[in-house]
C-alpha cells in the first residue's frame, strides 16, 4: 500500500504515515461527509429553520486555529445564501472579549467547528455564549464523537453534527478534518437540495483524486525548491483557504519555512515587501472572471518587477506559460465549475501536499513535526479565567 506515492513501511519509518493517509483519504471522506449530512437532512433542516426564523438573527462561525479558518472561508457563502448578518470570529478572540462579539438581545446562531472538541477556547466560548445571549442556538460541527463539545452539548436549542470517524485526524496538522468540516458547512447551506448535490460531490471526489494523483510529482518538485518563505494569496472565500494553506506549510516545516497570507488586493498595501529570491508565492485563483481580473493584475505586477521568487498558480483551467508562473495546478473539467463555493474545498490540497513533502525533505516527522514541542495536536497550557 502507498500513500502520496510512498510505501507504508517507509512512511511508518519516517513518521509520516498518518499525515499521508489522511491527506490521501480526503476525496473519500468528502463523499462520506455528504452521505452523513444527507442522512441527517430532516433534523438539520428543522434545527436551522428554528434558529433562523427569528427576527434579524446573527450567525457566528467560530473555531480555534485551523477551525477558525473554516469560518473565514464560509462567512461569505453563509451571508450571501442565508441573507442574515454572518461573522467569522476565532474562539481565541471571543474568550478575552466576549462582550465585543455577542449582543445580549440579538437572536444568535453560534456554529462551532472543532476537530477534537476538546480545545479549551472552544469549550469556553460555548459557555460564554450561553451567558452573553438571551436567545442562543448552537450548531456543533466536530470530528470527535467522544470530545467534550459533543458529549456536553445538550439543549433543545443545540444540534451536534459528528463527521465520519475517518475525518478525526491522528496527526498534528489538520488535513481531512479541515476540508471535511468545511464541506459540511457548505452542505448545511444546501439542505433543501441535498439529494441533487450527488453529482457535484462525485465531481469534488474526482477533482481531489486528480490533484492527489496526477499532480503529485509536480507538487513534490515544488516542495523540493529552496524557499525559506511562502506566501498564499486568495480572494473572498479563498482568503480563508490561503490562511489555512500558510499554516499547513509552516506547521509541517516546523517553522523552517516562514509563511504569510493575504488577499490579492491587500497584498499590494505593504505585505508585498516580504517577497525576495527565497520566497514561493502561491496564487489561489478564483473561478469568478470578475475577481480574476484583480488577481491577474497583481500577478502581472509581480512579474514586471523580478524578485527571483518562485510562483505557483492553483485553480481551474490554468496555464503556467500564459500566467508566467513557474507552476500551475489546474483542476480538471467537471461540474464543480458551476459550484464555485464547493470547489474551494479542493484548493487546500496543494499546500497540504507541499507541506508534507517539505517536512520530509527537512528531516522532520510530518505526523509530529514540532521538534521542540511548541505546538501540539490539541492546544495545551491555556487557562480560562
Q: What is the pLDDT of residues 61-118, one digit of tens each?
A: 999 999 999 999 999 999 999 999 999 999 999 999 999 999 999 999 999 999 988 8
Two domains, one topology: 40-189 and 202-361? yes
Fold classification of 40-189 is: Rossmann fold (3.40.50)
Q: What is the largest CA-CA distance in the chain?
A: 59
User: pTM of the predicted model, to two decimals?
Assistant: 0.96
Pairing of strands 2-3, 6-7: antiparallel
Sign of CA dihedral 222, 227, 367, 177: negative
Lowest-pLDDT range of 179-188, 215-224, 301-310: 301-310
Residues with Cβ within 8 Å of 363's Cβ and at least 6 positions away in sequence, in order, are none
Highest mean pLDDT among 115-124, 240-249, 321-330, 334-343: 240-249
d(CA 110, CA 140): 8
Q: Where are the alpha helices (DSSP H) in 58-195?
A: 66-82, 91-94, 120-132, 148-152, 176-188
Q: How confident is the model at residue 337 (pLDDT cuts 50, 70, 90)?
A: low
Q: Give mean pLDDT, residues 148-154.
A: 88
**pLDDT of 272 over the 70 cut:** yes
Residue 338: pLDDT band by 50, 70, 90 thresholds? low
Task: Report the C-alpha gap between 285 and 139 in whole angstroms.
Answer: 31
Domain ranges for the chain, please list them: 40-189, 202-361
* 65 dihedral zone (left: phi>0; alpha: psi -120 to 50; beta): left
Is a pLDDT exceeding 80 seen at residue 335? no
Q: Which CATH superfamily is domain 202-361 in?
A: Glucose-6-phosphate isomerase like protein; domain 1 (3.40.50.10490)
Amino acid at each position: 500500500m502507498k500513500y502520496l506515492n510512498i510505501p507504508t513501511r517507509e512512511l511508518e519509518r519516517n513518521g509520516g504515515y498518518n499525515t499521508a493517509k489522511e491527506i490521501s483519504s480526503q476525496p473519500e471522506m468528502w463523499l462520506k461527509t455528504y452521505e452523513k449530512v444527507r442522512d441527517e437532512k430532516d433534523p438539520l433542516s428543522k434545527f436551522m429553520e428554528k434558529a433562523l426564523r427569528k427576527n434579524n438573527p446573527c450567525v457566528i462561525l467560530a473555531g480555534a486555529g485551523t477551525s477558525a479558518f473554516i469560518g473565514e472561508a464560509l462567512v461569505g457563502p453563509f451571508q450571501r445564501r442565508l441573507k442574515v448578518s454572518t461573522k467569522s470570529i476565532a474562539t481565541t478572540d471571543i474568550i478575552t472579549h466576549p462582550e465585543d462579539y455577542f449582543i445580549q438581545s440579538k437572536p444568535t446562531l453560534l456554529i462551532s467547528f472543532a476537530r477534537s472538541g476538546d480545545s479549551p477556547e472552544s469549550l469556553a466560548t460555548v459557555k460564554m455564549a450561553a451567558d452573553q445571549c438571551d436567545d442562543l442556538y448552537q450548531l456543533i460541527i466536530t470530528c470527535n464523537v467522544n470530545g467534550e463539545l459533543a458529549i456536553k452539548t445538550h439543549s433543545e436549542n443545540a444540534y451536534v453534527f459528528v463527521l465520519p470517524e475517518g475525518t478525526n485526524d491522528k496527526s498534528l496538522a489538520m488535513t481531512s478534518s479541515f476540508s471535511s468540516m468545511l464541506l459540511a458547512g457548505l452542505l448545511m447551506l444546501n439542505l433543501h437540495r441535498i439529494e441533487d448535490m450527488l453529482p457535484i460531490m462525485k465531481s469534488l471526489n474526482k477533482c481531489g483524486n486528480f490533484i492527489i494523483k496526477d499532480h503529485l510529482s509536480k507538487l513534490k518538485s515544488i516542495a523540493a525548491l529552496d524557499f525559506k518563505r511562502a506566501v498564499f494569496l486568495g480572494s473572498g472565500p479563498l482568503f480563508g483557504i490561503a490562511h489555512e494553506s500558510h499554516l499547513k506549510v509552516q506547521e509541517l516545516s516546523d517553522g523552517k519555512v516562514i509563511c504569510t497570507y493575504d488577499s490579492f488586493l491587500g497584498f499590494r498595501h505593504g505585505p508585498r515587501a516580504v517577497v525576495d529570491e527565497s520566497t514561493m508565492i502561491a496564487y489561489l485563483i478564483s473561478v469568478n472572471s470578475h475577481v480574476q481580473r484583480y488577481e491577474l493584475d497583481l500577478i502581472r505586477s509581480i512579474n514586471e518587477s523580478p524578485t527571483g521568487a518562485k510562483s505557483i498558480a492553483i485553480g481551474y483551467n490554468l496555464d503556467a506559460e500564459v500566467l508566467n508562473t513557474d507552476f500551475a495546478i489546474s483542476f480538471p473539467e467537471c461540474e464543480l465549475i458551476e459550484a464555485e463555493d464547493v470547489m474551494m474545498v479542493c484548493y487546500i490540497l496543494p499546500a497540504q501536499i507541499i507541506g508534507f513533502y517539505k517536512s520530509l525533505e527537512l528531516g522532520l516527522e510530518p505526523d509530529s513535526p514540532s521538534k521542540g514541542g511548541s505546538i501540539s495536536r490539541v492546544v495545551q497550557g491555556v487557562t480560562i479565567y
